[in-house]
Amino acid sequence: MHATTVLPQNYRVERTITLSNNTALMLGLSLAGIVLCALFGSSFLLAAFRLSPFFAQRSNIIAISTWWQLLAILSVVVGGTLLTLIIHEAVHGLFFWLFTKNRPNYGFKGIYAYASAPDYYIPRNQFIIIGLAPLICISLIGLALLPFVPLAIVLTLVFILTINATGAVGDLYIVGVLLTSPPSTLIRDFGDGMTFYRPS
């Protein structure tokens, strides 16, 4: 099956999942995100200790001793978060484009950004790839860079990898739902939610 702009005649709505105005789901994803942040953060930090030669040099340990250093760290946190958000959605958009051959939509809804292809019905397996792409691609590229960048960049990279993985909590939830659906399922992503269609 391929992504299509025309829903097959024998398909009917199975379910719709929305993030806006769904307090219970947002709360559950936020709590799961905290757990993922701890798990992925410790995992990426451990990977940095093993892969980066700079962690073996005690002279490279960073100590916060001035307000300028604290400001620099805050800048990294804010800038790194925004950069991660943009790259994460850009990767989603790239894979939407690969499967639909059309430019995806980008936007903000409340506190989160999204990439979507509201005019397309996308097969389940393709949508799983779209959902997992930012987590897998960004994590692999970041881990591959760890042995080659200086300590300050290593710490920034670990932060970006952690934020990206934590931000994938919604993607992982949707992928989990998709794995319980048959391969014939089609999905239309309209930004802050999606509708699942199955043959009647």
Residue 147 has pLDDT above 60, yes or no: yes
Residue 64 has pLDDT above 80, yes or no: no
Can you read off the two tokens belonging to residue 61?
Answer: 């340990």
Residues belonging to the chain: 200
Specify the number of domains making up the chain.
1
- 5 within domain boundaries: no
Residue 153 or residue 134, greater confidence: 134
Which domain does 82 fall in, by range? 11-57+64-199
- 2 within domain boundaries: no
**pLDDT tens profile 12-50:** 999 999 877 788 888 899 999 999 999 999 999 999 988
Q: What is residue 59's predicted lDDT score, i.e. its pLDDT? A: 46
Residue showing tokens 């987590």: 135
Q: What is residue 5's predicted lDDT score, i.e. its pLDDT? A: 94
Residue showing tokens 């990279």: 157
- 162 within domain boundaries: yes
- 157 within domain boundaries: yes
Q: What is the mean pLDDT of residues 80-85?
A: 88
- 1 within domain boundaries: no
Of the ranges 37-41, 59-63, 69-73, the best mean pLDDT one: 37-41
- 6 within domain boundaries: no
pTM attached to this predicted model: 0.88
**pLDDT tens profile 99-133:** 999 999 988 776 677 889 999 999 999 999 999 99
Residue 152 and residue 72 in contact, taking contact as beta carbons nearer than 8 Å:
no
- 172 within domain boundaries: yes
- 77 within domain boundaries: yes
Q: ∠ CA(28), CA(16), CA(113), 5° rounding?
A: 60
Residue 170 and residue 19 in contact, taking contact as beta carbons nearer than 8 Å:
yes
Q: What is residue 114's predicted lDDT score, i.e. its pLDDT? A: 83
